[in-house]
Amino acid sequence: QQQVKQSPQSLIVQKGGISIINCAYENTAFDYFPWYQQFPGKGPALLIAIRPDVSEKKEGRFTISFNKSAKQFSLHIMDSQPGDSATYFCAASSDNDMRFGAGTRLTVKP
């Protein structure tokens, strides 16, 4: 059973648009929620992360929104750029356990 469900599987956005990727988790023991960005042929790299005691975290064009009661969180990419084209993974972690979503392939068209 997948503990972290991610949608959509793929997303196409025009340059300058907003990209939104959603995740939901099951285990209430998770207390750290990162997003990873992966380019083809590379390993995932941490993009932004949040703890459940805040509802939103913003870093530049990237924002995580977190809804603890619904056990959902999302990544918003504002002013999306072609260089943002990559696969994005959400994850949920506790002390020695990190579970990943299935990934979203984002394509930003110029």
Partner 1 sequence: NAGVTQTPKFQVLKTGQSMTLQCAQDMNHNSMYWYRQDPGMGLRLIYYSASEGTTDKGEVPNGYNVSRLNKREFSLRLESAAPSQTSVYFCASRVRDGFSYEQYFGPGTRLTVT
The two three-digit tokens of residue 95, written as one number? 């002390």
CB closer to partner 1 out of 73 and 103: 103
Helix, strand, coil percentages (3-state) for the chain, rounded to 5, are 5, 60, 40
Residue 105: closest CA among 27, 8, 22: 8
Count of residues near partner 1 by CB under 8 A: 25
User: 17 to 56, contacts with partner 1 by CB under 8 A?
Assistant: 32, 34, 36, 41-46, 49, 51
In the complex, which residues of this chain contact partner 1 (CB under 8 A)?
A: 4, 6, 9, 32, 34, 36, 41-46, 49, 51, 89, 93, 95-103
